Amino acid sequence: MAKTILIVEDETVLRESLAELLTGEGYRILQAGDGKTAYELAMSGPLDLVLSDVRMPEMDGITLLGNLRRLAPETPVIMITAYGTVQSAVAAMRSGACDYLLKPVQFDDLLLKIQRTLEYGEAGRTVRLMTEQLAADSVFHNLVGHSAPMVKLFEMVRKLSTVKSNVLIIGESGTGKELFARAIHYNGLLRDKPFVPINCGAIPDTLIESELFGYRRGAFTGATRDKIGYFERPAAARCSWMKYRPCPWRSRARSCECSRSGSSCRWATRILAPRTRGSSPRPARTWTRWWLRVNSARTCSTA
């Protein structure tokens, strides 16, 4: 099925030339002479790609881009501008544009960027579908129970899925604490981000900080290249299942900052942490800080 491309350009000659070129390449083309008309076309049906000029009457390209991001966030947009300044390019990319072209438009460059952007959009849709399927398979399919305590736990999982706070999950060994953590994550606001299970007890004390937070080249003898830690990989909000019990105190102190809401740390993350029923925190200041941070919400996996 032919991909649908919307061309938004107030210069009639350029718009029709682009339409003729892309029609010859097998694309289905829609045209608009200003941002307002383009937005109305976008509301009338799905689009695979939008090519938009920056400066237009009625509604400029940056405003149109912002409206499209709210209307159809998955629709990729390539901006076209005759004002090839760094400021205009940065503004377009920050607003959500996938790429930009400078006038006069080079047709070979245009076709290459369209192909690349469409492939990127297709990959994004595939990832979203896989994530939704994984979420559907992870609702409660691995958690079995019809008793009143289990029903209560399922309801708590649904509530915790609507927030981004850290969660402390309490239960005996083998009661499914990690299964509950996965259920919270894959039904929550961050389900399109990775779930990163980390067992700190399986990492030697001498390596735990470099594994969690990474290091820079030259930070110590033998550091011949930069290493990205768990908290920074990938560089976006994610959910970490942290088995902290054997974790060194200094590493807990650093993770406190990464788990704090509104943290200045660029690795800010949501932490789901387990604790075996009956164990109590040591009366150490670092543990207390970590305990208060993670214990934003508490649930029990033992029914």
Q: Could you give all domains of the chain from N- to C-terminal order, each with its CATH number?
A: 4-134 (3.40.50.2300), 141-300 (3.40.50.300)
Section 162-189 average pLDDT: 80
- Which tops the pLDDT comparison, 161 or 66? 66
On the question of pLDDT at 301 being above 60, the answer is no
Residue 218 burial by Cβ neighbours in a 10 Å radius (0-12, 13-18, 19+): exposed
In DSSP terms, 31 is beta-bridged to: 7
Question: What contacts 218, CB < 8 A, 6 or more positions away?
Answer: none
- The model's pLDDT over 92-120, given as tens digits with 9 standing for 90+, comes to 888 888 888 888 888 899 999 999 999 88
